[in-house]
Structure 1
Amino acid sequence: MAKPIRFLFLLLVLGGLALPGWTQERPAPLRIGFLSVPPFAQRDSEGEETGFLVELAQHLATELGTSITLVPVTSSRDFVQAQVEGRTDLIAEHRPTACAA
């Protein structure tokens, strides 16, 4: 249970780090990179992004008073490249970890 809470906290902190560059009038859409990992993020049969991380990103954008643009990435390495190139403001990724026995 602690891992999802840590993930949500990290996502909110990263969202907060993106705030200083925004203006008070009309903030640009929040560009969020995501890796397609069902049920966290995926494209449905109509080509729309859906899943837990997508819904969380939409709620975050609503709270921040902006919209989101989802930027699909193909790997963890692509997440880094997207950040370096300025294609994303933050990332939404679920990274499974081994549970301690």
Structure 2
Amino acid sequence: MFVRIVKMSFNENVIDLFLENFDANKHKIRGFEGCQFLELYRDKNDTSIFFTYSYWDSETDLEAYRQSDLFKNVWSKTKPLFNAKPEAWSVDKVTSLK
């Protein structure tokens, strides 16, 4: 399993559009084969910056999602809203304490 972190930045006037699109698709994304976890975070100091954290069984599963109609639909509505290039990281969890 690995974690995918995506940082996204938006103009203030389109944040509601982003949130509506995310809300409409979050259960589909989380239900996609190989996705074990999905969260959306908002920066406390700059409320136009958001992060998604998702846990995937394998890079193959993430790539299948990225090639899916679901991703293409979500991304086609999200990409035009960015005010900066999104950043993404695929990381392995080293330690987790609960």
How high is the TM-score relative to the length of structure 1?
A: 0.31
Choose between structure 1 and 2 for higher RCO, CA contacts under 8 A separated by at least 6 residues: 2
Q: Calculate the TM-score normalised by the size of structure 2.
A: 0.31
- Counting strand residues as a fraction of each chain, which structure ranks higher? 2
